[in-house]
Amino acid sequence: MSIPLPVATPTYLDPVAPLSARIADLTGRLTLEEKINLLGHENGPIERLGIPAYNWWSEACHGVGRNGRATVFPQVIAQAATWNRDLIQRIATAVSDEARAKHHAAERAGFFGQQYQGLTFWTPNVNIFRDPRWGRGQETFGEDPFLTGELGLATVRGLQGDDARHMKVAACAKHFAVHSGPEHERHAFDAQPTPKDLHETYLPAFEKLVRGGVEAVMGAYNRVLGEPACASQFLLGEILRNRWGFRGHVVSDCGAIDDFHRHHKVTADSAASAALAVRNGCDLNCGCTYNDLILAVRAGQITEAEIDTALGRLLATRFKLGMFDPAETVRWTKTPESVIDSASHRALARRAAAESFVLLKNANYLLPLPAAPRSMLVVGPTAANVGAMLGNYYGVSARIVTFMEGLVARAPEGCRVMYRPGCPLSQEGAPGVNYTFGDAAMAEVVVAVLGLDPTLEGEEGDTVASPVGGDRVRIELPENQRAFLKELRQNSKKLILVLTGGSAIAIPEEHDLADAVIYAWYAGCEGGAALADVLFGDLAPSGRLPVTVPRRTEDLPAFNDYAMHGRTYKFAAVEPLYPFGFGLSYAKIAYKSLALSKSAVADGESLEISAIVQNGSDLRAQETIQCYLIPPASADAPRAILVDFAKTDLAPHTSLEVTFQLTPDAFRQVDAHGERVWQPGAYQLVVGPASPGPRAQALGAPAPLVAALQLV
């Protein structure tokens, strides 16, 4: 009688084997066709090896997206307005909790390979929001590379987790690079940034995330300096892998490889496009173009060894996620389904929304409202608009608290609360009598919720009312809303304007008409409750603008011009309506003193900056202290550069010392060749509540502190 020999565990299934050995073992067991299958975002099962189907495409822009029930956190641009690194990481941690719970619930149900149910999430978007007309700017952290990098890295850390053995989920920095509209041109245009703009504005946030450990990078649709971004030797080879040392995988934007031959006209057909992409460093194809790699191999356009290189990077990600390990050895498989849209996550969403609201005006201290107003009218096309809470790339919560619902729930009995839509979102209203104005005349206070929703701005293919593929032509309010607000003002005793949207809205006239103005963004599933918290004074507003708000569309350069001249707080030549970093508080905040550890800094030296901030009111508040460097004036120098920031809690009638530690790199400027260089001269350091300039103080912000600094 023969005794069966024990079956050895394959190396790729051995959880303690080195990663390189596991990758090599599995790669060696695969046929060419199976390898190519694993290079597309839809992986069919490989049953002979026990590998189930897997789909790489999942979304987590501001909550697990497009996969049923999930906590809907405020849109990314709203999260940016919190200027709160810790809060952003807590949000991303909650999102990854829900992602793990949902993924493993799908596995237990036998669902494998379904889109949006995986562990590889194509977020965060760290493109620079250089022009407010871009519909997808709402997915970004705003216009500043430093702020974008800091908050993007906090997102990556929350998503990927802190486990030494396995990643929680894989994050992805997108869209690499020089990509921010116009949407309808994105498949064909060639961005031609100067070396200075490229290295000063468009690349720093990506570099920070890559050096911080982001697992994936997504290429953009467009060309950059003549090369398709998803097959750019310069971007993917020289910059990403050689200069920054990236060791993760690169994924194409969806359908971007087809653009090579269909729109960019740099290849003859899909086989040539697939070969070019893989050969130049794009490992994963969102789409099906890589199916033609089999033809490319036969034609000698690419080798199997080059395919193995791309496959190895993708397998590394799957091994890091624990997909080939016993479930009991992976910490995150135990995440309970009870975390999904849980009370604690909704409370976090509510807090995040409240911290994101930016108070832009508060004439005669109208806000906060009294605890028991006699009557209130809530009015406007986005007051009860669910879409205006969601933005784009959203999940679905079982309960979306609109602004109307939140205010009605908060108002005490005895307060007469009424609601009317007031006017359409964008088209002209019907002629005749509008009963809204009579209701306004009877109300002690009118809360008008106007602005945008995702039908007016978003991604190409998502919006239904944008005339240009998701972007805006003008940055003012729709004309019918402007006319409505003018008449509403004539019938209102006290008028609070609440703006919804994901981008800058130019409202110079509307600012003057309203008694108070709040930008509330796309505020998520608890946005209405959060607005009530702020309006009634349960929380003081602490949001700060992550974008500059111009006075009018005509103040902007051409949308498809990627030069930074005339854009953002760094290079704008026209004084804005609201400056980058601006936002008011209910509390009386003052900046009291500024001290530098030295008055002259040599190349290679660091600098410590200390500032005293005082809360002179009876209210608890949060203050975002911003530190800017102002270089010597020259034709191409930035007007100011954000070099650090801190969000702090201030108890009533207390002072707090805030310290910034600036490394030598904070002082280096980008020259015309794109190099970071030490430029001696007379600089200024500004610590204050907004980007430097007179407008913030004209709007009521406290005065900043200024110190001279010599670079030697």
pLDDT (tens digit, 9 = 90+) per residue, 165-196? Answer: 999 999 999 999 999 999 999 999 999 999 99
What amino acid positions are annotated as catalytic residues?
253
Looking at the structure, tell me whether residues 321 and 380 fall in a common domain.
no
Q: Which helix (H) or strand (E) holds 642?
A: strand 641-650
pLDDT of residue 546: 99
**Proportion of the chain above pLDDT 90, given as a percent:** 97
Asked which of 310, 333, 356 is the last residue of a domain, the reply is 333
Instruction: Provide the domain count of the chain.
Output: 3
State the chain's mean pLDDT as an integer.
97
The dihedral through the CA atoms of 519, 524, 528, 531 has a sign that is: negative
Asked which of 301, 333, 365 is the last residue of a domain, the reply is 333
Looking at the structure, tell me whether residues 411 and 559 fall in a common domain.
yes
Rounded to an integer, the average pLDDT of 256-281 is 98
pLDDT (tens digit, 9 = 90+) per residue, 356-400? Answer: 999 999 999 999 999 999 999 999 999 999 999 999 999 999 999
Instruction: Confirm whether 693 is domain-assigned.
Output: yes
Looking at the structure, tell me whether residues 566 and 605 fall in a common domain.
no
Instruction: Confirm whether 166 is domain-assigned.
Output: no
pLDDT of residue 2: 53
Instruction: Confirm whether 106 is domain-assigned.
Output: no
Rounded to an integer, the average pLDDT of 211-230 is 98
Looking at the structure, tell me whether residues 630 and 567 fall in a common domain.
no
pLDDT (tens digit, 9 = 90+) per residue, 654-686? Answer: 999 999 999 999 999 999 999 999 999 999 999
Q: Three-state SS string across 275-294, please?
A: HHHHHCCCCEECCCHHHHHH
Burial state string for 482-498 with b = 16 or more CB within 10 A and e = fewer than 16? bebbeebbebbebbbbb
Dihedral pair phi/psi, residue 531, rounded to 5°: -65, -40
**Proportion of the chain above pLDDT 70, given as a percent:** 99
pLDDT (tens digit, 9 = 90+) per residue, 412-428? Answer: 999 999 999 999 999 87
- Checking if the pLDDT of 3 tops 80, the result is no
- Checking if the pLDDT of 4 tops 60, the result is no
CATH of the domain at 608: 2.60.40.10
pLDDT (tens digit, 9 = 90+) per residue, 463-480? Answer: 989 989 999 999 999 999
CATH of the domain at 502: 3.40.50.1700
pLDDT (tens digit, 9 = 90+) per residue, 65-119? Answer: 999 999 999 999 999 999 999 999 999 999 999 999 999 999 999 999 999 999 9
Looking at the structure, tell me whether residues 299 and 393 fall in a common domain.
no
Looking at the structure, tell me whether residues 456 and 597 fall in a common domain.
no
Report in angstroms the alpha-carbon separations of 78 from 138, 352, 450, 504. 8, 8, 17, 12
pLDDT (tens digit, 9 = 90+) per residue, 11-30? Answer: 999 999 999 999 999 999 99
- Checking if the pLDDT of 6 tops 70, the result is no
Looking at the structure, tell me whether residues 265 and 386 fall in a common domain.
no
Instruction: Confirm whether 432 is domain-assigned.
Output: yes
Instruction: Confirm whether 678 is domain-assigned.
Output: yes
pLDDT (tens digit, 9 = 90+) per residue, 28-69? Answer: 999 999 999 999 999 999 999 999 999 999 999 999 999 999
Asked which of 541, 571, 601 is the last residue of a domain, the reply is 571
Instruction: Confirm whether 130 is domain-assigned.
Output: no
User: Where does the pLDDT of residue 488 fall: very low under 50, low under 70, confident under 90, or very high at 90 and above?
Assistant: very high
Instruction: Confirm whether 527 is domain-assigned.
Output: yes
pLDDT of residue 21: 98
Q: List Cβ<8 Å contacts ≥24 apart for 192-196.
A: 192/225, 192/562, 193/224, 193/225, 193/562, 193/563, 194/563, 194/672, 194/674, 195/672, 195/673, 195/674, 196/636, 196/670, 196/671, 196/672, 196/673, 196/674
pLDDT of residue 428: 77
pLDDT of residue 8: 86
Looking at the structure, tell me whether residues 312 and 415 fall in a common domain.
no
pLDDT of residue 610: 98
User: Where does the pLDDT of residue 1 fall: very low under 50, low under 70, confident under 90, or very high at 90 and above?
Assistant: very low
Looking at the structure, tell me whether residues 207 and 266 fall in a common domain.
yes
pLDDT (tens digit, 9 = 90+) per residue, 561-570? Answer: 999 999 999 9
Angle between helices 527-535 and 403-410 (to 10 degrees): 50
Report the residue count for the chain.
Answer: 712
CATH of the domain at 322: 3.20.20.300
Which structural domain range is residue 244 located in? 30-41+184-333
Instruction: Confirm whether 18 is domain-assigned.
Output: no
Looking at the structure, tell me whether residues 537 and 635 fall in a common domain.
no
Rounded to an integer, the average pLDDT of 614-636 is 96
Looking at the structure, tell me whether residues 455 and 326 fall in a common domain.
no
Q: Would the pTM of this model clear 0.85, i.e. be above it?
A: yes
Looking at the structure, tell me whether residues 323 and 350 fall in a common domain.
no
User: Where does the pLDDT of residue 635 fall: very low under 50, low under 70, confident under 90, or very high at 90 and above?
Assistant: confident
